[in-house]
């Protein structure tokens, strides 16, 4: 039976630059053999840090100091270290989007943080509701964590107005903001919204980037950008003697003469996959479900009719070889929700064409009525309602 895997968030293996990376690895081994025999230290490979500083500067339009960048073994290491550095005891509060990356939920709950989720809409975190939530809290949160662009799992991008409002609110409450922009280079349409640190040079802004989503997750290469004293506090939390120097050396060699070429080539194909998925959903599920139309990233968020039993749907889809990520996995409250996430970056085109009709058939079979859905938008106050 064919398998249609829309569950795992990976980029497209078809655009992986095998020959170019092989040449970069040979060159890196030849030129960096001495450095490969030393521990890299907390900041990591200087050449790759310089390239990532240049990458950020060119995308964001502001100067970036490579000495304020630390390479990480994937962006999740930066997410976890930032949480550990900013908290003081178990039960400390962190503010996030109500739906956020399942790995972040596991990491933050694992180190003892109490996650408070703020609803999202098509413009990102509802900052107006965040203000109300902060006023009602019994104690001050330690920080705000947000995925501002091409958010995982919803695919939405925070508007510039919403970003500025978040900056002002965080300043008013003296709160650090950890901005996870790990999908920032995976851009398809429209303007690239500036990162928070580019909009405002507040030293409480902590920024996280990644090469996993545009290059390859197996390289395990991310980075953190921060000012003093947060930079020292976060880097001082690592006990691994530094990030993978070999991977960093190979990537520095790969990127040194063409910083954006691979990104541009990969995004063309990823956009085609996104468009193919949107067309397949429109043909198979229009009038039954609604979904996000991401301008970048690797994910699409789909809202299900509330007359579906969620476990029955998951079982029925798996029996047909179709796999998706449960909305519950991304809900900081851990409750079932009538949403699912479809990852499209690594899915072959023919599997998109053949798989989405299978999902549509399973949804139709698992509904308890033929009534039109009682929603027209992806987000509203009733989106989490469960009917049994």
pLDDT digits (tens, 9 = 90+) for 6-20: 999 999 999 999 999
Question: Based on the number of CB atoms within 10 Å of its own CB, is 39 exposed (0-12), middle (13-18) or buried (19 or more)?
Answer: exposed
In a domain, 141, yes or no: yes
Tell me, yes or no, whether 242 and 345 share the same domain. no
Q: What is the reported pLDDT for 382? A: 56
φ/ψ (deg, to 5) at 145: -115, 130
Question: Based on the number of CB atoms within 10 Å of its own CB, is 258 exposed (0-12), middle (13-18) or buried (19 or more)?
Answer: exposed
In a domain, 384, yes or no: no
Q: What is the reported pLDDT for 286? A: 95
Q: CB of 242 within 8 A of CB of 250?
A: no
Tell me, yes or no, whether 150 and 284 share the same domain. no
Q: What is the CATH number of the domain that holds 215?
A: 3.40.640.10
pLDDT tens column, 73-97:
999 999 999 999 999 999 999 999 9
Number of domains into which the chain is organized: 2
Q: What is the reported pLDDT for 26? A: 96
The residue out of 233, 255, 277 marking a domain boundary is 255
Sequence-distant (≥ 6) Cβ neighbours of residue 126 within 8 angstroms: 118, 119, 120
Q: What is the reported pLDDT for 39? A: 85
Mean pLDDT of 163-180: 98
Q: Is the pLDDT of residue 352 over 80?
A: yes
Mean pLDDT of 325-341: 97
pTM of the predicted protein model = 0.95
Mean pLDDT of 189-209: 96
Mean pLDDT of 309-322: 97
DSSP-assigned beta bridge partners for residue 290: 303
In a domain, 318, yes or no: yes
In a domain, 159, yes or no: yes
Q: Which of 159, 187, 164 is nearest to 177 (CA)?
A: 164
Tell me, yes or no, whether 58 and 197 share the same domain. yes
Mean pLDDT of 348-375: 92
Q: CB of 43 within 8 A of CB of 235?
A: yes
Tell me, yes or no, whether 223 and 161 share the same domain. yes
Mean pLDDT of the chain: 94
Q: Is the pLDDT of residue 312 over 70?
A: yes
Angle between helices 75-86 and 102-110 (to 10 degrees): 40
pLDDT tens column, 240-276:
888 899 999 999 999 999 999 999 999 999 999 999 9
Q: What is the largest CA-CA distance in the chain?
A: 69
Q: What is the CATH number of the domain that holds 267?
A: 3.90.1150.10
The residue out of 255, 290, 306 marking a domain boundary is 255
Greater model confidence, 239 or 281: 281
Tell me, yes or no, whether 79 and 164 share the same domain. yes
In a domain, 381, yes or no: no
∠ CA 247-325-347, nearest 5°, is 60
- For the chain, what percent of residues have pLDDT higher than 90? 87
Tell me, yes or no, whether 48 and 138 share the same domain. yes
Tell me, yes or no, whether 312 and 350 share the same domain. yes
What domain range is 151 assigned to? 18-255
Q: What is the reported pLDDT for 387? A: 34
Sequence-distant (≥ 6) Cβ neighbours of residue 149 within 8 angstroms: 157, 158, 181, 183, 184, 192, 193, 296, 297
What letter does residue 341 receive in the DSSP assignment? E
Tell me, yes or no, whether 161 and 80 share the same domain. yes
What letter does residue 308 receive in the DSSP assignment? B
Which structure tokens are listed for 158? 């925070």
pLDDT tens column, 129-155:
999 999 999 999 999 999 999 999 999
Q: What is the reported pLDDT for 385? A: 45
Mean pLDDT of 341-356: 97
Instruction: Give the torsion through C-alpha atoms of 237, 242, 247, 250, to 10 deg.
Output: 130
Tell me, yes or no, whether 208 and 347 share the same domain. no
Tell me, yes or no, whether 51 and 72 share the same domain. yes
Q: What is the reported pLDDT for 241? A: 84
In a domain, 377, yes or no: no
In a domain, 186, yes or no: yes
Mean pLDDT of 98-120: 97
In a domain, 90, yes or no: yes
Mean pLDDT of 121-135: 96
Tell me, yes or no, whether 89 and 40 share the same domain. yes
Tell me, yes or no, whether 112 and 88 share the same domain. yes
The residue out of 211, 235, 255 marking a domain boundary is 255
Q: Is the pLDDT of residue 383 over 60?
A: no
């Amino acid at each position: 039976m064919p398998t249609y895997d829309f569950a795992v968030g990976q980029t497209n293996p078809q655009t992986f630059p095998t020959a170019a990376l092989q040449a970069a690895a040979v060159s890196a081994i030849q030129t960096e053999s001495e450095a490969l025999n030393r521990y890299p230290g907390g900041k990591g490979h200087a050449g790759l840090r310089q390239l990532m500083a240049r990458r950020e500067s060119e995308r964001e339009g502001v100067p970036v100091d490579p000495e304020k960048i630390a390479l990480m073994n994937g962006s999740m290491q930066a997410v976890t270290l930032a949480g550990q550095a900013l908290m003081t005891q178990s039960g400390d509060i962190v503010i996030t989007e109500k739906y956020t990356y399942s790995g972040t939920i596991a990491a933050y709950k694992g180190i003892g943080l109490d996650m408070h989720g703020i609803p999202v809409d098509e413009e990102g975190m509802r900052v107006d509701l965040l203000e109300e939530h902060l006023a009602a809290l019994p104690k001050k949160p330690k920080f705000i964590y947000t995925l501002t662009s091409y958010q995982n799992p919803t695919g939405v991008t925070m508007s510039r107005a919403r970003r500025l409002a978040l900056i002002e609110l965080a300043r008013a409450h003296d709160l650090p903001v950890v901005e996870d922009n790990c999908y920032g280079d995976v851009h398809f349409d429209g303007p690239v919204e500036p990162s928070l640190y580019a909009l405002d040079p507040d030293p409480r802004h902590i920024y996280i980037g990644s090469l996993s989503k545009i290059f390859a997750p197996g390289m395990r290469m991310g980075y953190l950008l921060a000012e003093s004293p947060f930079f020292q506090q976060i880097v001082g939390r690592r006990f691994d003697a530094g990030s993978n120097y070999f991977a960093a050396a190979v990537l520095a060699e790969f990127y040194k003469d063409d910083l954006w070429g691979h990104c541009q080539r990969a995004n063309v194909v990823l956009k085609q996959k996104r468009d193919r998925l949107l067309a397949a959903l429109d043909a198979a599920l229009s009038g039954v479900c609604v979904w996000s139309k991401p301008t970048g990233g690797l994910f699409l968020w789909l809202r299900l009719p509330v007359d579906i039993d969620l476990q029955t749907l998951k079982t029925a889809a798996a029996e047909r070889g179709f796999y998706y990520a449960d909305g519950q996995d991304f809900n900081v409250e851990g409750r079932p929700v009538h949403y699912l996430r479809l990852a499209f970056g690594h899915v072959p085109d023919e599997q998109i064409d053949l798989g989405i009709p299978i999902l549509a058939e399973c949804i139709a079979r698992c509904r308890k009525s033929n009534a039109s859905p009682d929603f027209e938008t992806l987000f509203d106050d009733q989106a989490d309602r469960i009917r049994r």
